[in-house]
Structure 1
Amino acid sequence: MEKSEILITDDCGVRLDKWVHIQFPELSRTRIQEMIKDQFITVNNKAVKANYKTNSGDRIQVEISDPEPLNVEAENIPLDIIYEDQDVLVVNKPRGMVVHPAPGHYTGTLVNGLLYHCNDLSGINGVLRPGIVHRIDKDTSGLLVVAKNDKSHQSLAEQLKAKTTHRIYLAIVHGVLPHNEGTIDAPIGRDEKDRKKMAVTSKNSKEAVTHFYVEERFNKYTFVKCRLETGRTHQIRVHMAYIGHPVAGDPKYGPRKTLSINGQALHAAELGFNHPSTGERMTFTAPLPADMEIELKKCRKAY
């Protein structure tokens, strides 16, 4: 069941998340903050932050949908664990696997497999995303780090915010890139025409920077390495499409006629961070999945 309510406030100087919680006490502050972030709560038809201070006469719209029952179970799913100790776990996620449960995907996720493998995951992100510090898309393969306690989670989250983590992706993109390397510095926010997509936009966007380096050129495609300076949703996919070279196989941002691969040809190949307890710099690599290797061989043969 979904409902949408429009409320006019006479309050001044009250944080938006607190104000909404007073009006809808059944909603937790955490859920309200997520709703504000995802623009299901707006002020005067504009997206704002949770710490927005209300003004008399503000028109606050709240769209509420009933959450599905939470029942995240441990599942014996084989995981490609690259590294593990008492604080962190680094896993190589296969293409096609969802990172954490969400509506429509409550089983078969990485989190379901992690709960079976170990029961000491960080609880900062709640029951649906235990231990998850950062995500990669369902149809993107590769490395991500999982926090096994709250202290580690906080340390890793701070490193991501400070841009001290090292994240390298490999991708096959459409077209032949003319430059050997470049930087895409273009802010990313939710697409105003399609809430399920992200876009380069100046409205309600955040800084997004991607550095790319050409590895190989072919007749119709280019094999590139991308280094993330920031980590926005769908960042590489949006940025490469923005410069006219969408990731091959990307059903959301690229053309339908593409390589024979089940999902976008994008792989998180390198991951580096400082260990939360020891401070040691740690770097991990994961080889290209077989499907991308096969497509690269086809591209080389046709070149």
Structure 2
Amino acid sequence: MDQRFTLRFTATKEGQLLREALSEWRISKRALTAIKFEGGLLTVNGLERNVRHPLQIGDIVEVKFPPEEKSEGLVVEYGLLRIIYEDEAILVLDKPAHQSTIPSREHPTQSIANNVCGYFEQQGLASTVHVVTRLDRDTSGLLCIAKHAHIHHLTGLAQRGGEISREYEAIVHGHVVLDKQSIIAPIGRKETSIIEREVREDGQFAHTDVKVLSRFNIQGEPMSHVRLKLYTGRTHQIRVHMVHLGHSLVGDELYGGSRMYINRQALHCVSLQMLHPLSGEYLQFSSPLMDDMQRLLNN
């Protein structure tokens, strides 16, 4: 059975070249190169054609993308995945804390990507892992993975167009004064660190909305439970913006938080909203806070 990812389209313009139609259907030039040289196939009404073929209205165009190979360093593993949603194009997962999204030098195995590779292999899917929305190792909650390079291309276009929306909840030190506010401050790498980021003039544009859900105290220490909406996806964006505001995340030692109450940054992706990359259907997913964060709120 042919396991290659396949899409079908119906031509709507008389005499349009296949190349032009494929561009309108958002098939990238990179994908066309891979189809041509790496084992893909273009057919019109069941017959193989090249991109210069003129179409007639009603022609059925089939695009078979070549099989994908995983990166050499990506070890196939078969760990637990908390699957929230799955179809032929995307996989939405609920990631626990203390698990990397992708392997790193410090944590080369047991990442989400390792386990997804094993899951795809079990399914007989000729694909590799394409992370759409990535989470830091100690951040929990929703993340999205594209099952194919073309789907990753489409979700990348959607992200740049602001069509993928994520909201987080965090617990931070101190009582945040304003009930609602926007933080628009550029983020760049800290010169003295390869890991840390900071707000700096020469950084990349970054925008986070902050809404206070509650203010409380634990053993006399003030804390705030906040909801955050990301408009950009900079590395450590929420953590850096909240430090900039004067409120480190509880448990975030890298940025000045205390681990007296929780052994990771208290940050969870609670909501993911997007248009399906193929059907255009509106999708909305939610995830409740993990027990460690909930215990802080119940304290």
Q: TM-score, normalised by structure 2?
A: 0.71
Q: Deviations over 1:165-196 (max 9, x none)?
A: 11000000000011110000000010112221
Matched position secondary structure for 1:89: strand
For 2:91 and 2:72, the matched residues in 1 are separated by 24
Q: Which residue of structure 2 lines up, in the alignment, with residue 271 of structure 1?
A: 272
Instruction: Indicate the residue corresponding to 1:39 in structure 2.
Output: none
Q: State percent identity of aligned pairs.
A: 38
Alignment of 1:249-268 (within 5 A): 249-255=251-257, 257-268=258-269
Query: Where in structure 1 do 4 or more consecutive aligned residues deviate above 3 Å?
Result: 119-123
Structure 1 gaps, min length 5: 1-68, 124-129, 299-303
> Could you tell me how far apart the structure 2 residues matched to 1:70 and 1:151 are?
21
CA contact (8 A) 2:216 2:223 kept: yes
Q: What's the secondary structure of 1:116's corresponding residue?
A: helix
Question: Is contact 2:99-2:110 (8 Å) kept?
Answer: yes
- Does the CA-based 8 Å contact 1:121-1:147 persist in structure 2? no
CA gap of 1:121–1:153, structure 2 versus 1, over 3 A, is farther
Give, in angstroms, the shift of residue 82 of structure 1.
0.1
1:294 corresponds to which residue? 295
Return 110-119 or 240-249, whichever deviates more.
110-119
- Give the distance between the partners of 1:275 and 1:76, measured in 2 at CA: 27
- Distance change (3 Å), C-alpha of 1:121 and 1:239: farther
Aligned partner of 1:111 among 96, 110, 113: 113
Matched residue SS, 1:96: coil
Which residue of structure 2 aligns with residue 166 of structure 1? 165
Q: CA deviation at 1:73?
A: 2.1
- The CA distance in 2 between the partners of 1:79 and 1:244, in whole Å, is 36
Residues 295 and 82 from structure 1, CA distance in 2 versus in 1: closer, same or farther, beyond 3 angstroms? same
Aligned pairs for 1:1-303 within 5 A: 70-119=72-121, 120=125, 123=128, 130-203=129-202, 205-219=203-217, 220-255=222-257, 257-298=258-299
Q: Could you say what secondary structure the match of 2:255 adopts?
A: coil
Distance 1:122 1:70, change over 3 A: closer
Q: Counterpart of 2:288 in structure 1: which amino acid?
A: P
CA RMSD of aligned residues (A): 1.5
State the secondary structure of the residue aligned to 1:206: coil
Counterpart code for 1:98: S
Specify the alignment match of 1:57 in structure 2.
Answer: none
- Closer, same or farther: CA 152–121 of 1 in aligned 2, 3 Å: farther
CA contact 1:87–1:152 (8 Å) conserved in 2: yes
**3-state SS of 1:230 partner:** coil
Aligned to 1:53: none
Preserved contact between residue 253 and residue 259 of structure 2 (Cα < 8 Å): no
Query: 1:50-84, CA deviations, whole angstroms, 9 ceiling, x for partnerless residues?
Result: xxxxxxxxxxxxxxxxxxx9442221211110000
Q: Distance between the aligned counterparts of 1:146 and 1:72, measured in 2?
A: 16
**Matched residues, number:** 222
Structure 1 residue 235: deviation in Å? 0.2
- Which protein is bigger by CA-based radius of gyration? 2
Counterpart Cα distance in 2 of 1:234 and 1:162 = 21
In 2, Cα distance between equivalents of 1:97 and 1:87: 24
Q: Give the AA of the match of 2:264.
A: G
Partner Cα distance (1:279, 1:246) in 2: 38
